[in-house]
Amino acid sequence: MNSLRTAVTVKAWRAALLRSKSFGARTRSFPVVATKFRFRAYISTAPRLQNTFQSHCDSVSNAPHLLPTYKPDPATPQTLTEKIVQRYSVGLAPGKVVKSGDYVTIKPHHCMTHDNSWPVAQKFMAIGASKIKDSRQIVITIDHDVTNKPEANLKKYRLTDEFATKQGVDGYGAGRGIGHQIMIEEGYAWPSTLTVASDSHSNVYGGVGRVFPVDEMLVSWYRAKATSAARSDSPSKDHISTIAPIVAGPNSVKIATPLKDLEAQDISINKAYLVSCTNSRASDIAAAARVFRQASNDGKPARVAPGVKLFVAAASIPEQQIAEEAGDWQVLLDAGAEALPSGCAQCIGLGPGLLEPGEVGISASNRNYKGRMGSVEAKAYLASPEVVAASALKGKIAGPGWYHKPEGVKKIIIGE
């Protein structure tokens, strides 16, 4: 029986691998923004494969015996990060083993750029280059300024479109989604690959494959494949049960305050944002919708507080479609939220609904330094989708009511 389970698991793994390399399999159709850019359909895992690995391995009692126990002992052990960089390094001296602190030249698996970094293409043409060496390596997305309609911006989009079409690279038009979401959604950023983007948020790709259930089979695989002698520079261990909801700000990610402390201060807000590549996927939209649903179940008004505006923009068209199918998108609209096209929106300080002088905003995005989301005379806080929704509902910085602060957590100011 164990042999059969193993065979089924391997077969499922191979099927999943094949699916990841073949974007033509089991696609879903979504509206496409008018553009010449090629639209690659969203891929969803077949229902019969979604739980295959976990369901077949949970009951494998002798998992450690199913994997080889022999491991060669490398002369220079490497961490996982060092192994990945080694794989994508070029021009290394024979026998060179990449270690932390080395300077290397890499050939990335994929490279992404967007409309805000259009000068990259201009520089490419200015130096007399005519053809990208590997068109399959490059991904171009239009996501930063999608609500800006002046002719100058539309011209930039046309030129970007023409460049992508001429070079034969994968391009995604305005409103299709945020580049970072697309990189993961469409399989460009994949576990054990090295991907580069002309944007400071591209480091989020490192989280791909990092949150998942751990069972005996997986632990055994780690033991069989890991290099035991490798050491990380700064290992850390955190007890998740001790983590309390934290709000960052105002106007700095370096100032972190427990939610309960800010709730006690009755900080009124003017605007709330459920946007960006950080917290606007279907799961985030569902978390925000849950807050309004709970208010309705408790017999309280399930609407955005008077004097407050709530803006929502999904990370991509597929993510919005999922939220619509689940009913979560409509819950937010019924609550009074204003829907925006999929894009970076107010997170980057573009489009409607920016913070005005003297206003206070709370956002489920990634940056809040002074002036980023509007006026330099405004205050911006960062929080989870639930806290943003609860704040919009109550008109002040607040939580949904189901969080409890652990003991011993104080206000934290990290550096300057």
Domains and CATH numbers, the chain: 2-225 (3.30.499.10), 241-413 (3.30.499.10)
Contact (CB, 8 A) for 274 and 346: no
Q: 56-70, 119-133, 256-270, 276-290: lowest mean pLDDT where?
A: 56-70
Q: pTM for the full model?
A: 0.73
pLDDT confidence of 68, banded at 50, 70, 90?
A: low
Q: 123-127, 182-186, 338-342, 346-350: lowest mean pLDDT where?
A: 346-350
Task: Report the alpha-carbon distance of residue 155 to residue 160 in Å, rounded.
Answer: 9
Winning range, highest mean pLDDT, from 56-65, 143-152, 178-187, 375-384: 375-384
pLDDT confidence of 406, banded at 50, 70, 90?
A: low
Task: Report the alpha-carbon distance of residue 314 to residue 176 in Å, rounded.
Answer: 10
Mean pLDDT of 195-211: 79
Mean pLDDT across the chain, nearest whole number? Answer: 80
Q: What is the pLDDT of residue 67?
A: 57
Q: What is the pLDDT of residue 72?
A: 62
Q: What is the pLDDT of residue 18?
A: 37
Whether the predicted pLDDT of 407 surpasses 90: no
Q: What is the pLDDT of residue 45?
A: 39
Whether the predicted pLDDT of 43 surpasses 90: no
Q: 152-161, 260-269, 283-292: lowest mean pLDDT where?
A: 152-161
Contact (CB, 8 A) for 257 and 405: no
The CB density around residue 178, as the number of other CB atoms within 10 Å, is: 32
H/E run at residue 22: none
Give the residue among 64, 62, 26, 30 at the shortest CA–CA distance from 45. 26
pLDDT confidence of 144, banded at 50, 70, 90?
A: confident
Q: What is the pLDDT of residue 209?
A: 61
Q: How wide is the angle at C-alpha 147 spanned by C-alphas 142 and 152, nearest 5°?
A: 75
CA distances from 182 to 17, 50, 113, 326 (A): 19, 21, 12, 21
Q: How wide is the angle at C-alpha 382 spanned by C-alphas 234 and 260, nearest 5°?
A: 90
Q: What is the pLDDT of residue 1?
A: 38
Winning range, highest mean pLDDT, from 38-52, 142-156, 202-216, 371-385: 371-385
